Structure 1
Amino acid sequence: MTGSRITALGHHQPERVLTNDDLARLVDTSDEWIRRRTGIATRRIAGARESVADLATAAAGKALAAAGLVPGEIGLVTVATCSAIDRCPSTAAQVAGRLGIPDAVAFDVNNGCAGFCTALALADHSLRAGAARHALVIGAEKMSDLTDWTDRSTCVLLGDGAGAAVLSAAAEPGIGPVVWGSDPTRGQAVRLVDDWHPAFSQDGQTVFRWATTELPAVALAACERAGVAVAELGGVVTHQANLRIIEVLVRQLGLDQRTVVARDVVDSGNTSAASVPLALAKLVERRELEPGAPVLLLSFGGGLSWAGQVVRCP
């Protein structure tokens, strides 16, 4: 085998919907204020007893079933998360145990909102090297645990959820070369630091300027390395941080109406490392993307870190 492909996807979100009007009863804000600055209308919030591992397992179980594989065929499980409270065993190990996966290597990846695309690349490299034939790659976050519900600039952004992908070794690669990196000089722009129960904080203007000036080049490089022109893309799924950032990137890349662009941030808010697989899985479930279509995945966040690749839609 010379590569790997995404063969199935799954997603899961908590039942509770938190609207902008709900938030207006907590802090000095309004539906109009939130929509104008972020594009967000609603977000999902997990219950007090619903953990990151619960969210991840639900999404991974759906992806595993959709792939038609049995647990013993999975050789690698990785979970991208920055909100998991448990340090050991890892969230990935907990997911493997709950799904009955007997002996896969299991580990977590914390690269903030860039986590899923980072984990996807690591799993792809592992399958290319023959370390496994099938892998589960999951992005799962319970950002509500890290939210300062008195800070109107950040509490309006965050939501909970999970998305998962099954990767399988393939003779024809379906995951393009990754473009990734970080700019530690801007590392303080997005923060979860200081104690065991940190609150999410960010310098929104710094993140906006950085994302809208630096990410177009990352997107173009990912397409170039995959041998796919931007005009050939069937879809674009970026980190769902802010609808304004997404719309700027769409204009800068010159995308037209034929390209499906994920805007799940409107309904789900910013779910950090879960946002890319969550949005991608929904598009596939709704059949908005054609099987085999090239889709640009582009994630960015704390670090400031980024990772992106072109994948073939399952």
Structure 2
Amino acid sequence: MTPKQTPFPSRSRVLGTGSYAPKRVLTNGDLERMVATSDEWIVTRTGIRERRVAAEGEDTSDMAVVAARKALDMAGVAPQDLDMIVVGTISADMPLPSCAAIVQAKLGASKAFAFDVAAACAGSLYALSIADRFIATGGAKRALVIGAELLTRLVDWSDRNTCVLFGDAAGAMVLGPSEDSSRGLLSAHLHTDGTAADILSIPGGGSRTPQSTQVLERKLHKVHMDGREVYKFAVRVLPLAIQEALDANGLAVADIDHVVSHQANLRIVESVLERLHVPIEKCWVNLDRYGNTSSASLPISLDEANRAGRLKEGDVIAMMAIGAGMAWGGALMRW
């Protein structure tokens, strides 16, 4: 007698969301006293008014755990019931082991396998896609996806072009199988162009240029960015990624109810939405309060929109993110 086979779910859905930002607020006015900049210059070019800075002794994993616990509480899932943990980050507590392994231990999620994804600001979207595939193929039933970054320790505070941008935070999502085949993550479409790797990088500290006195003196262990090229790249590829997701699901731009985006720069978000002919009112914008939180940006935005009651059952959510690599992607989710 052949045992009855349980079919795999067609997709995953979000069961709970959570986010965390440190208490310390660093305003544009504070930065005026640190580097040659001004509130007007920062707001005009980025849309950022303030950002959060982790406390001394506060690690990336600490922020990730707070966001994770909030998501688990909303989902009604205990840490020991998790099958996998995926953390999108490029600012882990240490180079080895992964931030996810430390998060697993702090949560007490002893059954879960855990690993990091290094796709910079696109990290949480990459992690979401990976977790979705595990759930959709039966490899996991409960997955925790986290985006967490502590970038204020990786920026050069004398470089006004980069230090004004970044903030520390974490966001989390708990995923499970979707019992309704029409709801959940409809599809995710990921891309990379390594030929553009030099426009946003931390060039020192790796195997190419190991940590040394020279690396420290030249600040090669800090974020280096060609902002103009990043902007041009982002506004070119992100509309295509969203359109790719729409086409894959037989949907049109008019079907989008909400946009949940990585927020690196308000000008990028506005330009992408303008090219797609999507009103900015459909996008949850919090860049002014947090700055660029890299991989944490997308799940924080989802959590805030969710807790504000903005997301209704059946709504179509378009997601987009882009980060160093260059790595980017678009996704559609039916709430």
Alignment TM-score > 0.5, same fold:
yes
Q: Is 1:74 paired with 2:82?
A: yes
CA-CA distance at 1:288 after TM superposition: 2.2
Which residue, 95, 116, 126 being the options, matches 1:118?
A: 126
CA-CA distance at 1:190 after TM superposition: 0.5
Q: Is the 8 A contact 1:6 1:312 kept in 2?
A: no
2:247 maps to which residue? 224
More displaced 10-residue stretch of structure 1: 35-44 or 206-215: 206-215
1:84 maps to which residue? 92
- Take 2:43 and 2:56, find their aligned partners in 1: how far apart are those partners? 27
Q: Is 1:277 paired with 2:287?
A: no
CA-CA distance at 1:111 after TM superposition: 0.6
1:50 maps to which residue? 58
SS of residue matched to 2:187: coil
Which residue, 257, 260, 263 being the options, matches 1:234?
A: 257
Which residue, 172, 175, 184 being the options, matches 2:185?
A: 175
Q: Is the 8 A contact 2:20 2:66 kept in 1?
A: yes
CA-CA distance at 1:220 after TM superposition: 0.5
Q: Is the 8 A contact 2:11 2:178 kept in 1?
A: yes
Letter in 1 for 2:245: A
2:276 maps to which residue? 253
Q: Is 1:96 paired with 2:104?
A: yes
User: What is the aligned-residue identity percentage?
Assistant: 40
- Take 1:288 and 1:200, find their aligned partners in 2: how far apart are those partners? 35
Q: Is the 8 A contact 2:148 2:171 kept in 1?
A: yes
1:24 maps to which residue? 32
1:308 maps to which residue? 330
Letter in 2 for 1:101: A
SS of residue matched to 2:289: helix
Which residue, 136, 139, 143 being the options, matches 2:144?
A: 136
Q: Is the 8 A contact 2:89 2:123 kept in 1?
A: yes
Flag as ranges the 4+ runs of structure 1 deviating above 4 A: none
The count of corresponding residues between Structure 1 and Structure 2 is 312
2:6 maps to which residue? none
SS of residue matched to 1:9: strand
Which residue, 45, 59, 64 being the options, matches 1:37?
A: 45
Letter in 1 for 2:233: W
- Take 2:323 and 2:333, find their aligned partners in 1: how far apart are those partners? 20
SS of residue matched to 2:333: strand
- Take 1:153 and 1:159, find their aligned partners in 2: how far apart are those partners? 14
Which residue, 178, 181, 191 being the options, matches 2:201?
A: 191
Which residue, 158, 162, 175 being the options, matches 1:150?
A: 158
Q: State TM-score, norm by structure 1.
A: 0.96
2:173 maps to which residue? 165
CA-CA distance at 1:108 after TM superposition: 0.5
Deviation readout 1:213-233 (Å, 9 max, x if unpaired)? 221111110122233321111
More displaced 10-residue stretch of structure 1: 262-271 or 33-42: 262-271
CA-CA distance at 1:294 after TM superposition: 1.2
Structure 2 regions of 5+ residues with no counterpart? Answer: 1-8, 206-210
SS of residue matched to 2:121: coil
Q: Is the 8 A contact 1:260 1:288 kept in 2?
A: no
Q: Is the 8 A contact 2:238 2:329 kept in 1?
A: no
Q: Is 1:289 paired with 2:297?
A: no
RMSD: 1.3
More displaced 10-residue stretch of structure 1: 190-199 or 173-182: 190-199
Q: Is 1:13 paired with 2:21?
A: yes
Q: Is the 8 A contact 1:133 1:169 kept in 2?
A: yes
- Take 1:30 and 1:256, find their aligned partners in 2: how far apart are those partners? 29
- Take 2:148 and 2:170, find their aligned partners in 1: how far apart are those partners? 4
Q: Is the 8 A contact 2:239 2:273 kept in 1?
A: no
- Take 2:295 and 2:250, find their aligned partners in 1: how far apart are those partners? 26
SS of residue matched to 2:263: coil
More displaced 10-residue stretch of structure 1: 73-82 or 194-203: 194-203
- Take 2:33 and 2:127, find their aligned partners in 1: how far apart are those partners? 38
Q: Is the 8 A contact 1:46 1:160 kept in 2?
A: yes
- Take 2:87 and 2:131, find their aligned partners in 1: how far apart are those partners? 11
